[in-house]
Amino acid sequence: MKKTVCLLLIIIGFASCVSNQPEARRPVSYSSGSFLKESAAINKKIVEAEEKAILQIIEENKTTEYINSPDGFWYTYHEKNPKKDSIYPEKGDLVVFEYNLLELDGDTIYSKDEIGVREYYIDEERIFSGLRQGIKLMREGETVTFLFPSYKAFGYYGDLERIGKNVPLQSTITLKSINQNQKSVN
């Protein structure tokens, strides 16, 4: 009898544990995606306004030929390397260059002298995307002015010093030298 009672209590205890499984909780709130839609709409307006300002600069300088990069910025040559056999920098190459950063209206944010001569290993160090992509379009000895929308410059955060959020920039870059990566030369 004791065995039957114990067995019965064990079965009842087990059955009560199985039947009292916690029920899945439903979320208190859910997102309809409206925040993302609003954010995308705001970003589209910012991009449109920046591109309009850049196109206005280009329109005002009718004597200067600007090239629209497939990467989303515009540029014009001041000094162009006439040698057709000269190289473009590739991944791992060390480039030596100098540049400045200005607002679209021409106000200086960082001068060439303030930044100084920079060395950069192509695609192996962090620099803002417009500068990285722009340098790859240049040959040794060339000087190019780039017009970058904010998403190709420092974007939403700025540089946390002098460049605010969503600030389009212009930059004049002089590529002094390209030292090819020995791995890519051999």
- Residue 148: exposure state from Cβ atoms within 10 A (0-12, 13-18, ≥19): buried
User: What is the helix, strand, coil percentage profile of the chain, to 5?
Assistant: 35, 20, 45
Q: Can you list the alpha helix ranges (DSSP code H) found in 20-98?
A: 34-60
Specify the pLDDT at position 186. Answer: 46
Cα 83 from chain centre? 32
Which residues, in sequence order, are bridge partners of residue 68?
74
CA 117, CA 97: separation in Å to the nearest integer?
6
Q: Residue 63 contacts by C-beta under 8 Å, 6 or more apart in sequence? A: none
pLDDT digits (tens, 9 = 90+) for 63-81: 999 999 999 999 999 999 9
Question: What's this model's pTM, rounded to 2 decimal places?
Answer: 0.79
**What would the CATH number be for the domain defined by 66-185?**
3.10.50.40
**CB environment 21-55: b (16+ within 10 A), e (fewer):** eeeeeeeeeeeeeeeeeeeeeeeeebbeebeeebe
pLDDT digits (tens, 9 = 90+) for 131-161: 999 999 999 999 999 999 999 999 999 999 9
Specify the pLDDT at position 129. Answer: 96
Regions in the chain scoring below 70 on pLDDT? 1-32, 182-186
Cα 24 from chain centre? 41
Task: Supply the Cα-derived Rg of the chain in whole angstroms.
Answer: 29
Q: What are phi and psi of 151, to 5 degrees?
A: -70, -15
Annotated domain spans of the chain: 66-185
